[in-house]
Structure 1
Amino acid sequence: MARLFGTDGVRGLANAEITAPFALRLGEAAARVLTGKNISHRPRAIIGRDTRQSSGMLSHALAAGLASAGVDVEHVREIPTPGVAYLTAEEDYDLGVVISASHNPFQDNGIKFINGDGFKLDDAIEDEIEALLGKDWDRPTGAGVGAISESAAVSDRLYMDHLIDCGRDLHGLRIALDCANGAASDVAPRVFQKLGADVVVINAAPDGKNINDSCGSTHPGQLQALTVATGADFGFAFDGDADRCLAVDHAGNLVDGDQIMGMLAVAMKREGQLKRNTLVLTVMSNLGLHLAMRDRGIKTVSTKVGDRYVLEEMLAHGYNLGGEQSGHVINLDRATTGDGTLTAVSVASEVAKQGRKLAEMVEFVQRLPQTLINVPNVDKTKTEYVEREVAQAEAELGETGRVLLRASGTEPLIRVMVEAQTQEEADRIARSLADTVREKLSL
């Protein structure tokens, strides 16, 4: 049987796979694991959510499950995932919960847990929660039942103040923002305005159904056009729960997570802040970033895909900067998880500090041509059935490129990624492998 938790919590179709009764049972199980850790006080949990129509239903059901097991719960309504992580650690909660499916379409939703230190739960603890799901137990009564309250205003201000403290004066810069009609819609524009930027904003009017709808970091076209049309110096696009961001330069060119990480790594090394002189990446990062870092005397370490695995490597070996090409960037000196708004503030502040164009500051990361094809409706547990074709493609590319075939940890599909010396070659090999996956692994 497949594991309940993926690389970023539990996700599925809201009210079909991720239902209110399921959320309640998951809250009960999480609380039972939490209260079984011999803590000496009444446990407290904080729940935040994104702007999906189903997020309110699921957050209240989850809260009911936690409270039924003796946990006091505070709601903070719509807030980025990293905001919940920050508040969990700073305000001494024992558990943080986020109701969100990140970059997925609005019909999906998910639940992810954060420990008292602000980090995502270890696999072992998630397995404990899964093992208790739906099992009989003795519920507390009377004063043993947890309380549920709201604390949106104070929590929102604390998180925003943290982001502002991480930035510098941005007066004189015009910055475009695409908030994906998600959790960044309120906080990101306010942070950049407080820092003095002239802010141009789109997709910051969530209606419960328009989150990630042809906008945000997974669809940056609107931001690219806006940045050019308004004469902005650069722009940022967030995803639904605002734990990632991509950038756009003044000419409308996309600046991906690899380029952002390369820029920040060089800046941190220059200031003596890059611990162990190392940048942590995933296997999805472009070879061009590895080469750019090597040329600047910065080491790179690769992990499997998923920001949780980047974080595990960072914590295990004392690194402080890492992330993913998709825009998850983790700076452990300032956050415990990827934070799209924090990343945007860091990039903008570095541009302001150097007084150069963003395009100039990232041009040293020369990306090899790369093609990524998502193949849905296939059995993602049987990738070994196409190993021969992958080996043939790798032999054809030699040392001038690479192939990565991986099952998504958050969606029912297989990702085929090819890097090559030319875009034509990358496209051709990726299409051929995608066709093979469809043929051999179709459901």
Structure 2
Amino acid sequence: MEIIMGKYFGTDGFRGEANVTLTVEHAFRIGRFLGWYYGQNHEDGKAKIIIGKDTRRSSYMFEYSLVSGLTASGADAYLLHVTTTPSVSYVTRTEDFDCGIMISASHNPFYDNGIKLINDKGEKMGEDVISEIEKYLDGDHAEVPLATHERIGCTIDYAAGRNRYMGYLMSLATYSFKGMRVGLDLANGSAWSIAKGVFDALGAKTYVIHAEPDGTNINTDCGSTHIESLQELVKREHLDVGFAYDGDADRCLCVDETGEVINGDLILYIYGCYMKERGKLISNKIVTTVMSNFGLYKALDAVGIEYEKTKVGDKYVYENMSKNGYRIGGEQSGHIIFSKYATTGDGILTSLKMMEVMLAKKKTLHQLASPVTIYPQVLKNIKVIDKAAAQNDPDVQAAVAKVAAKLGDDGRILVRESGTEPLVRVMVEAGTHDICQECVDSVIEVIKAKGYAI
């Protein structure tokens, strides 16, 4: 189901600065509504709702607020404690929960936080429920009743659910990791409680960095958004591979044995080829977003793999995969969805799948990625009065067509609008950085000349 871009909830939950734009009152009322809403599905009025959180200082505050709201409405709240977003998704869909809640702002700085809602299938919550929550937050929905007597909910420690998720990840490994030297950057975040245990159990010699969360250091100069220290670790310790996660571990970037970053596009290529070789690539399709690199498409063309392009956002990738039954899709940022095993991007699962290809093919990550040439890219944003008018202007479209013709099969141009700001984004990928720059500037000059720029 489509997720509404509402007043509070965006494509990835309700996110904002803790106690500024996202407050304990918001969390309490979200809990109150969800406890009542799902309680209607049960004769005794007791919904079962699971909660996970990342390592931000404010995550505890929001957890207690949500629990208060849920139990006041009669729901039982099950606590996974510090865990990953994909683990909440897994436990929700496999253990008969009405819905799941993840408290995290993903790769944002520590002072931000977010509330992600997950339906009983382990997918992002649908528009119908989100819109009702938004009405309730704004007082446009009837007040929901408080539970009394034995109908008041209780709180249940459910760390066992997290352990079962770890067991599930281990069960997916088809090879022992014995003898493999693996670096893990845990971003001082959610992966801290899970990733090392999984890799150790599978026999790897693990070298772990950024695994000392203190509530304020999540994503700070570490993890998939700051991968430099993992690159240094891999080179210094001569490791076979390194994996970096973001704050809630729903994405993963890799570092090969030479210290080079293997991003989401390269992960899609490596695993897509592996699936095709084994006859597992359903419909011979990989799902990407429009921001995947031109070099990925050239490499996929060379091996005869087809692809879909969605709007930017892992939710659009999952919608396409779900609708068409495709098995693999993702984004450059490292959100990779393996639909046979998960309903969301899962960073630790992604790293296990990369290990599988390396071990099955007896090749290094560098060798596996080598057929792909990543093209230089220049992306510029221009602030405009009217996004649609700027893009639809005949002269602007002519300038874009001229660039496309000039690049031919050796590059591409993409012009799209920002979903949240008054910006038009102009992106070009080509053989050299100078060509990219020249082509982007030629389109932006026309936008300015036609009077659209602010």
Matches of 2:150 and 2:427, distance apart in 1: 55
Deviation at 1:325, TM superposition (A): 1.0
Q: 2:191 aligns with which of 168, 184, 187?
A: 184
- The answer to whether the 8 A contact 1:88-1:116 is kept is yes
Structure 1 residues 341-380: Cα deviation after superposition (integer angstroms, max 9, x where no partner) = 00001101210111111111011222222234578xx68x
1:118 paired residue number: 122
1:420 paired residue number: 430
- The answer to whether the 8 A contact 1:280-1:313 is kept is yes
Q: 2:108 aligns with which of 104, 108, 111?
A: 104
Matches of 1:394 and 1:175, distance apart in 2: 46
TM-score by length of 1: 0.91
Structure 2 segments unaligned to the other structure (5+ residues)? none
Matches of 1:47 and 1:146, distance apart in 2: 14
Deviation at 1:193, TM superposition (A): 1.2
Deviates more, 1:126-135 or 1:68-77: 126-135
Q: Are 1:308 and 2:315 an aligned pair?
A: yes
Q: 1:157 aligns with which of 152, 163, 166?
A: 163
Deviation at 1:214, TM superposition (A): 1.4
Counterparts in 2 of 1:412 and 1:177: CA distance versus 1, 3 Å: farther
Matches of 2:214 and 2:326, distance apart in 1: 40
Counterparts in 2 of 1:97 and 1:37: CA distance versus 1, 3 Å: same
1:14-413 map, 5 Å: 14-37=18-41, 42-133=46-137, 134=139, 135=141, 136-152=143-159, 154-167=160-173, 168-372=175-379, 382-384=386-388, 386-387=390-391, 388=393, 391=397, 392-393=399-400, 395-398=402-405, 399=408, 400-407=411-418
Counterparts in 2 of 1:118 and 1:306: CA distance versus 1, 3 Å: same
Matches of 1:390 and 1:2, distance apart in 2: 31
- The answer to whether the 8 A contact 1:29-1:130 is kept is no
Counterparts in 2 of 1:145 and 1:223: CA distance versus 1, 3 Å: same
Matches of 1:28 and 1:404, distance apart in 2: 43
Deviation at 1:432, TM superposition (A): 7.9
Matches of 1:265 and 1:221, distance apart in 2: 27
Structure 1 segments unaligned to the other structure (5+ residues)? none
Matches of 1:62 and 1:364, distance apart in 2: 48
SS in 2 for 1:46: strand
Aligned AA for 2:61? M
Structure 1 residues 279-309: Cα deviation after superposition (integer angstroms, max 9, x where no partner) = 1111111122222222222221111111111
Matches of 2:311 and 2:268, distance apart in 1: 17
SS in 2 for 1:247: strand
Matches of 2:42 and 2:426, distance apart in 1: 45
- The answer to whether the 8 A contact 1:257-1:329 is kept is yes
Matches of 1:106 and 1:441, distance apart in 2: 34
Aligned AA for 2:429? E
Matches of 1:268 and 1:12, distance apart in 2: 39
Matches of 1:143 and 1:369, distance apart in 2: 63
Aligned AA for 2:347? G
1:5 paired residue number: 9
- The answer to whether the 8 A contact 1:99-1:110 is kept is yes
Deviation at 1:321, TM superposition (A): 0.9
SS in 1 for 2:27: helix
Counterparts in 2 of 1:433 and 1:216: CA distance versus 1, 3 Å: farther
Deviation at 1:144, TM superposition (A): 2.1
User: What is the percent sequence identity of the aligned residues?
Assistant: 40
Aligned residues, how many?
436
SS in 1 for 2:242: strand
Matches of 2:50 and 2:364, distance apart in 1: 40
Counterparts in 2 of 1:432 and 1:209: CA distance versus 1, 3 Å: farther
Matches of 1:158 and 1:317, distance apart in 2: 30
Deviates more, 1:393-402 or 1:172-181: 393-402
Matches of 1:396 and 1:331, distance apart in 2: 36
Structure 1 residues 73-107: Cα deviation after superposition (integer angstroms, max 9, x where no partner) = 01111101001111111221111000001011111
Deviation at 1:390, TM superposition (A): 6.0
Counterparts in 2 of 1:115 and 1:262: CA distance versus 1, 3 Å: same
Structure 1 residues 143-196: Cα deviation after superposition (integer angstroms, max 9, x where no partner) = 2222122222x1221111111111121112111111111101131111111111
- The answer to whether the 8 A contact 2:45-2:75 is kept is no
Deviates more, 1:178-187 or 1:2-11: 2-11
Matches of 2:375 and 2:203, distance apart in 1: 36
- The answer to whether the 8 A contact 1:238-1:340 is kept is yes
- The answer to whether the 8 A contact 2:36-2:145 is kept is no
SS in 1 for 2:153: coil
Matches of 2:453 and 2:250, distance apart in 1: 32
Deviation at 1:407, TM superposition (A): 2.1
- The answer to whether the 8 A contact 2:245-2:252 is kept is yes
Matches of 2:414 and 2:353, distance apart in 1: 32
Q: Which has the larger radius of gyration?
A: 2
Aligned AA for 2:37? V
